[in-house]
Chains A and B, each alone.
Chain A
């Protein structure tokens, strides 16, 4: 008889306690849909953020106006003070398939191999400005450079053994200024240049610029999204181009500024596309452009962006440091 009276309270207690004993890896809902801003006050010495990448181990690397920083998820460390990566803007940073870190600046490339820094100051006999870096799905590193009176610029690649130079069309004026590199699912490489976007295929290349389906030539950002559409951001104008099949469509950024080009683009895990512009951040949810997604970033030059493996979206600004959005 006693047991009957004990059984029911115990059952109720189990029901109450049971939910508390599980859900180990669940993220607190109050910690999502939030923004974090890293500045000199909480980790990064410089407010001027030029480049971001995620390495093979989940660390975030940030190139600033004055140095290189690594974030392991908990704390920031400045890296490479002993090398040439300190003291001038780091335009690009990426890790190749062998775990080698590549750091691009106006003085070429600094490469971190097994804890040692190496400086690559010239390619094919010329000094170069390493403006963009991209690791393709084979682990090869692509290097986009800027032309100047001292250097011809152009596109290069490193396959783990040798460097290669791509000549046509990247030796032509405009095409030798390379702002961005990416690839599509068909392993074609897309290159954004001052003279348009170039799609490198196995059989040759095709160009998208103002002579065919773009309004402006200065392609600063290219994105292949989860819907298999290709987006083109140009430094001029306030629209973005979307290539759907063979049809180009232009979408207004619904921006408050008449001239604010797209400098960077990233797609989050929910297939929202984020446009970093010369005057703020715009989010596209598949239908609408939201230019008020982060009031603190309106009027701000956003230079680089990244969606990491955990789904966090990172934005580097020119004046306000690094912003990180943790989505719902």
Chain B
């Protein structure tokens, strides 16, 4: 049992060590590279255009912690998961790289690694001398699909106003088929009773299995030390993915599994946010925001029967800050608190990120 634990810990420690080295390296680079840097790299939040400047390279690593303590049901009512005995935690590490090809044209790529666990309510079954206790953990673990995007902004200056359109695609590079579950069962028998404990453990992945296209727009209105930015991103896909789910059967404390193929077509998602920035000091910005997501369409098909996905909505209010730590380094943190929703978990989301900026020309 101990050996297993050690094996599990080492890769996690390695990942964290590598990440720390990367961050430290970039930080050292950012402190070291001071000669010939223009003010573009220390531009205040409220002065920044909606795309990067020509030749500007931006590397944005981040970590997001989501803690689900509530969910919204089909009627939009908030349900306390702690009362249901259900909980979710997600650790998401993301890396985004942006580059300004021209003064008004930006390309970007992003990749996430996430680990999410959803623990369901334990259930007791009992009859006479027999008792069964079940728990269920569903894990979603792995890298996401690779996002690549292109953004353009107005190719001329307009006072106090900026506008951007963008397009991109999530390329299905990640594993999306669930791995075989790792359920376990133990039965204890004595003279008077039979007790069986069953642990369901599903191992799902983070990929979509099909190309998803993104179209977005953003607009910004700014003054000397304030900015209001609104953006929306609409994603859709035109083809389905072929995947499977796992059925399990318990026989004398041993599980056997068989995979059942089905098709899935992701629905269309509208993500949006409205952010209000206040530049308190040249190197310190605070912001509040209203953000959300609406999911429509999509279906699963098994044996010729297609069943649509339920509609999902979530809306959250958030706040955060950004600090210009060094010429090349910005740090920011934000927190989002869900306020409205439908058919969706309502996690508290805390995001911590860094932004490394360089000029290549």
Interface of A with B (CB < 8 Å)?
8, 11-12, 15-16, 18-19, 23, 25-30, 32, 226-227, 229, 238, 242, 244, 249, 252-256, 269-271, 286-290, 310-311, 328
Determine the distance from Cα of A256 to Cα of B125 in the docked complex, in whole angstroms: 11
Q: CB of B306 within 8 A of chain A?
A: yes
Whether the pair B127, A15 counts as a contact (CB closer than 8 A) is no
Which B residues lie within 8 Å of A255 (CB)? 127
Whether the pair A32, B127 counts as a contact (CB closer than 8 A) is no
Task: Identify which of B41-49, B98-106, B307-315 touches chain A.
Answer: B307-315
CB contact between B308 and one of A11, A29, A244, A271 (< 8 Å): that residue: A29
Determine the distance from Cα of A252 to Cα of B126 in the docked complex, in whole angstroms: 10
CB contact between B309 and one of A15, A29, A271, A290 (< 8 Å): that residue: A29
Whether the pair B127, A252 counts as a contact (CB closer than 8 A) is yes
CB contact between B126 and one of A28, A254, A310 (< 8 Å): that residue: A254
Whether the pair B250, A286 counts as a contact (CB closer than 8 A) is yes
Q: CB of B217 within 8 A of chain A?
A: yes
- What is the CB-to-nearest-CB distance from B333 to chain A, in angstroms, rounded to a whole number? 32
Which B residues lie within 8 Å of A11 (CB)? 215
Which A residues lie within 8 Å of B247 (CB)? 270-271, 286
Known contacts A12-B234, A15-B234, A32-B307; is-contact A288 B252 (Cβ 8 Å): no
Chain A CB count within 10 A is highest, among B128, B185, B252, B307, for: B307
CB contact between B236 and one of A19, A286, A290 (< 8 Å): that residue: A19
CB-defined A-B contacts under 8 Å, sample of 11: A18-B236, A19-B236, A27-B305, A226-B258, A227-B249, A249-B251, A254-B126, A254-B127, A254-B132, A270-B247, A288-B198
Determine the distance from Cα of A227 to Cα of B247 in the docked complex, in whole angstroms: 10
Q: CB of B275 within 8 A of chain A?
A: no
Nearest first, the 9 A-B pairs at minimum CB distance are A286-B249, A287-B250, A29-B310, A254-B127, A26-B308, A19-B268, A29-B308, A19-B297, A26-B306
Q: CB of B84 within 8 A of chain A?
A: no
CB contact between A249 and one of B127, B252, B258, B303 (< 8 Å): that residue: B252
Determine the distance from Cα of A317 to Cα of B308 in the docked complex, in whole angstroms: 31
Which B residues lie within 8 Å of A229 (CB)? 249
Determine the distance from Cα of A287 to Cα of B123 in the docked complex, in whole angstroms: 12
Determine the distance from Cα of A287 to Cα of B185 in the docked complex, in whole angstroms: 10
Residues of B311-325 whose CB lies within 8 A of A: none
- What is the CB-to-nearest-CB distance from B65 to chain A, in angstroms, rounded to a whole number? 30
**A29-B308, A271-B260, A287-B185 given. 10 additional CB < 8 A pairs?**
A8-B165, A8-B217, A15-B234, A19-B236, A19-B268, A23-B297, A227-B249, A249-B252, A256-B127, A271-B247
- What is the CB-to-nearest-CB distance from B201 to chain A, in angstroms, rounded to a whole number? 12
Which B residues lie within 8 Å of A226 (CB)? 258
Whether the pair B305, A310 counts as a contact (CB closer than 8 A) is yes
Whether the pair A269, B307 counts as a contact (CB closer than 8 A) is no
Determine the distance from Cα of A288 to Cα of B305 in the docked complex, in whole angstroms: 26
Q: CB of B77 within 8 A of chain A?
A: no
Which B residues lie within 8 Å of A310 (CB)? 305
- What is the CB-to-nearest-CB distance from A171 to chain B, in angstroms, rounded to a whole number? 36
CB contact between B258 and one of A227, A252, A311 (< 8 Å): that residue: A227
Write the B280-306 contact mask toward A (1 if CB under 8 angstroms, else 0): 000000000000000011010011011
Known contacts A18-B236, A26-B307, A27-B306; is-contact A12 B134 (Cβ 8 Å): no
Nearest B residue to A8 by beta-carbon distance? B165
Nearest A residue to B232 by beta-carbon distance? A12
Q: CB of B256 within 8 A of chain A?
A: yes
Which A residues lie within 8 Å of B132 (CB)? 254, 288
Which A residues lie within 8 Å of B217 (CB)? 8, 12
- What is the CB-to-nearest-CB distance from A58 to chain B, in angstroms, rounded to a whole number? 13
- What is the CB-to-nearest-CB distance from B236 to chain A, in angstroms, rounded to a whole number? 6
Q: CB of B179 within 8 A of chain A?
A: no
- What is the CB-to-nearest-CB distance from B198 to chain A, in angstroms, rounded to a whole number? 6
Q: CB of B248 within 8 A of chain A?
A: yes
Determine the distance from Cα of A315 to Cα of B134 in the docked complex, in whole angstroms: 28
Determine the distance from Cα of A328 to Cα of B248 in the docked complex, in whole angstroms: 17
- What is the CB-to-nearest-CB distance from B214 to chain A, in angstroms, rounded to a whole number? 10
Q: CB of B73 within 8 A of chain A?
A: no
CB contact between B307 and one of A19, A27, A227, A289 (< 8 Å): that residue: A27
- What is the CB-to-nearest-CB distance from B264 to chain A, in angstroms, rounded to a whole number? 12
Whether the pair A253, B127 counts as a contact (CB closer than 8 A) is yes
Whether the pair A26, B299 counts as a contact (CB closer than 8 A) is yes
Whether the pair A287, B198 counts as a contact (CB closer than 8 A) is yes
- What is the CB-to-nearest-CB distance from A104 to chain B, in angstroms, rounded to a whole number? 30
Known contacts A27-B307, A286-B249; is-contact A227 B127 (Cβ 8 Å): no
Determine the distance from Cα of A35 to Cα of B209 in the docked complex, in whole angstroms: 33
Which A residues lie within 8 Å of B297 (CB)? 19, 23
Known contacts A29-B310, A227-B258, A311-B305; is-contact A15 B249 (Cβ 8 Å): no
Determine the distance from Cα of A26 to Cα of B308 in the docked complex, in whole angstroms: 6
- What is the CB-to-nearest-CB distance from A251 to chain B, in angstroms, rounded to a whole number? 9
Whether the pair A287, B296 counts as a contact (CB closer than 8 A) is no
Whether the pair B125, A289 counts as a contact (CB closer than 8 A) is yes
Determine the distance from Cα of A328 to Cα of B305 in the docked complex, in whole angstroms: 10
Which B residues lie within 8 Å of A253 (CB)? 127
Write the B174-207 contact mask toward A (1 if CB under 8 angstroms, else 0): 0000000001010000000000001010000000
Whether the pair A269, B303 counts as a contact (CB closer than 8 A) is yes
Determine the distance from Cα of A43 to Cα of B305 in the docked complex, in whole angstroms: 26
Which A residues lie within 8 Å of B185 (CB)? 287
Determine the distance from Cα of A242 to Cα of B310 in the docked complex, in whole angstroms: 37
- What is the CB-to-nearest-CB distance from A326 to chain B, in angstroms, rounded to a whole number? 9
Which B residues lie within 8 Å of A15 (CB)? 215, 234, 236
Known contacts A11-B215, A15-B234, A288-B198; is-contact A23 B127 (Cβ 8 Å): no
Nearest B residue to A270 by beta-carbon distance? B247
Determine the distance from Cα of A30 to Cα of B74 in the docked complex, in whole angstroms: 9
Which A residues lie within 8 Å of B303 (CB)? 269, 311
Which B residues lie within 8 Å of A311 (CB)? 303, 305
- What is the CB-to-nearest-CB distance from A321 to chain B, in angstroms, rounded to a whole number? 25
Which A residues lie within 8 Å of B258 (CB)? 226-227
- What is the CB-to-nearest-CB distance from B84 to chain A, in angstroms, rounded to a whole number? 16
- What is the CB-to-nearest-CB distance from A298 to chain B, in angstroms, rounded to a whole number? 14
Whether the pair A288, B234 counts as a contact (CB closer than 8 A) is no
Residues of B235-263 whose CB lies within 8 A of A: 236, 247-252, 255-256, 258, 260
